[in-house]
Amino acid sequence: MENIALIDSFSEFKDDKLIDRVTLMAILEEVFRNTLTRKFGDDDNFDIIINPDKGDFEIWRNRVVVADGEVENENQEIELSAARKIEPDFEVGEDVSEEVKLIDLGRRSILSLRQNLIAKIHEHDSTNIYKHFVQLVGEIYTAEVHHVRQRVIILVDDDGNEIILPRDKQIPSDFFRKGDSVRGIIESVELKGHKPAIVMSRTAPAFLEKLFEQEIPEVFDGLITVKKVVRIPGEKAKVAVDSYDDRIDPVGACVGMKGSRIHSIVRELGNENIDVINYTNNLQLFITRALSPAKVTSLKINEETKRVEVILKPEEVSKAIGRGGHNIRLAGQLTGYEIDVFREGVEEDVELKEFSDEIEAWIIEEFSKVGLDTAKSVLEQDVQDLVKRIDLEEETILEVIRILKSEFDGEQ
């Protein structure tokens, strides 16, 4: 194979991968030097001349002429008689430059060279892809479903790059088929070997934040700032927003008339319920707003323990806790405080953990997951509602209620 034929055989590959010819030549020289080292022991005495304009190259081997029978290093030295076959007037001690044709390297070396060249081009391409996607981490990206597997969906973008959407990064209601367009944020990019592993997420709070930036002009322009986002993907989210311009109502601007602006975001997230609240440095007011739609009667903050006791009217308690405890859990995450809810008018209550000698810790934990941390908060709930909200058998729930009642009724 002629030298130029080797380069031309990669021209289509080069164009597909957007590698310029100069870069291809640099890769080619590196691969050739590795091949020469393997075949001759080293490549120090070889000159590789590459012409990127013509797409051709030459390899020259430089050796010193020595007397016949005195060659010690066949790669560095050449006998006088052999040198004079190249040019008849060579003398001992002179330098001989001899062109090495590709075919002189042998069929096996040529095959190895081709494989190494392809590997180097893939490595170069993967490095560029990695650098490109690292800059996109945290940004919204769109790709098409290529293959659906049990634990992961394989996406492919317009440039043919493969992106992974794991099951735990999908919203529970997500259902995609081959060919569907999917939006998410690029969550992480890692080089595994020489191949970049690009992971997309639709459950990250940052995805919701970026959707606000993309769908709401005032957020995109910086007139409204998204201060914090917390989510239970597919169920509920709370977004704290602020504006440095007093003329702008940040909540109103984000929600829009009758929810018109936020509707597309809700639909993208599988009808996730989104509460948008005004951010404030006033902690009491912020916690009050975070518990929306419940109306707080009063609250007491303990900054050392990062806990807050919230007093509510009986009819507001279920609103504060929310379905499955989602509202109170997100309010705690948004404010950074553990929130304990108490009914207005109840002067004393007992935390569930005080019953650890009678109720197992894992059962207490199941009640806590839905915002029920005290005896009164459990006793005021309907039994059937508790069965629906808590991952416990009805028999277990009834036994817990019996134990709690005994505390207040004086039963043993």
Residue pLDDT, tens place only, 170-200:
999 999 999 999 999 999 998 877 778 999 9
> What is the secondary structure of 25-58 as a DSSP string?
HHHHHHHHHHHHHHHHS--TTEEEEEETTTTEEE
| Whether the predicted pLDDT of 397 surpasses 60 | yes
CB–CB of 386/397 below 8 Å?
Answer: yes
Q: Does domain 3-131 have CATH number 3.30.1480?
A: yes
Residue 98: the pLDDT is: 80
How sure is the predictor about 22, in pLDDT bands with cuts at 50, 70 and 90? low
For residue 160, which phi and psi values (nearest 5 degrees)?
A: 85, 10
How sure is the predictor about 254, in pLDDT bands with cuts at 50, 70 and 90? very high
Measured distance CA(207)–CA(187) in Å, rounded: 9
What is the percentage of the chain residues whose pLDDT exceeds 90? 39
More confident position, 127 or 246: 246
Measured distance CA(60)–CA(47) in Å, rounded: 5
What six digits make up the tokens of 146? 């290529």
More confident position, 349 or 331: 331
pLDDT digits (tens, 9 = 90+) for 225-235: 999 999 999 99
pLDDT digits (tens, 9 = 90+) for 283-299: 999 999 999 999 998 99
| Whether the predicted pLDDT of 243 surpasses 70 | yes
Residue 52: the pLDDT is: 58
For residue 310, which phi and psi values (nearest 5 degrees)?
A: -115, 125
Give this prediction's pTM: 0.63
What is the percentage of the chain residues whose pLDDT exceeds 70? 84
CB under 8 Å to 3, separation ≥6 — which residues?
Answer: 56, 57, 58, 101, 102
Measured distance CA(84)–CA(81) in Å, rounded: 5
CB–CB of 59/99 below 8 Å?
Answer: yes
Q: Answer whether the bond into residue 166 is a cis peptide, omega within 30°.
A: no
Residue 330: the pLDDT is: 95
- DSSP H stretches of helix in 296-393: 314-321, 326-335, 361-369, 375-379, 383-389
pLDDT digits (tens, 9 = 90+) for 93-144: 888 888 877 766 766 766 666 667 667 766 767 777 888 899 999 999 999 9
What six digits make up the tokens of 126? 């993967």
Residue 156: the pLDDT is: 94
Count CB atoms within 10 A of the CB of residue 385. Answer: 11
Measured distance CA(356)–CA(361) in Å, rounded: 6
| Whether the predicted pLDDT of 55 surpasses 90 | no
Q: For the ranges 40-54, 76-90, 308-322, which has the lowest average pLDDT? A: 40-54
Residue 177: the pLDDT is: 93
Residue 110: the pLDDT is: 64
CA angle, corner 359, sides to 354 and 362, nearest 5? Answer: 100
CATH topology of domain 204-279: GMP Synthetase; Chain A, domain 3 (3.30.300)
Residue 4: the pLDDT is: 45
Average pLDDT, the chain: 84
Exposure b/e, 269-288, CB count within 10 A at least 16 = b: bbebbbbbbbbeeeeeebbb
Residue 2: the pLDDT is: 46
| Whether the predicted pLDDT of 346 surpasses 70 | no
| Whether the predicted pLDDT of 70 surpasses 70 | yes
How sure is the predictor about 412, in pLDDT bands with cuts at 50, 70 and 90? very low
For residue 358, which phi and psi values (nearest 5 degrees)?
A: -115, -25
Residue 180: the pLDDT is: 94
Q: What is the mean pLDDT of residues 332-343?
A: 90
How sure is the predictor about 21, in pLDDT bands with cuts at 50, 70 and 90? low
The domain spans of the chain are: 3-131, 136-203, 204-279
Exposure b/e, 305-325, CB count within 10 A at least 16 = b: eeebebbbeeebbbbbbbebb
pLDDT digits (tens, 9 = 90+) for 201-222: 999 999 999 999 999 999 999 9
Second CATH level (architecture) for the domain 136-203: Beta Barrel (2.40)
| Whether the predicted pLDDT of 8 surpasses 60 | no
Residue 54: the pLDDT is: 59
How sure is the predictor about 1, in pLDDT bands with cuts at 50, 70 and 90? very low
Q: What is the mean pLDDT of residues 17-21?
A: 58
CB under 8 Å to 314, separation ≥6 — which residues?
Answer: 343, 344, 345, 380
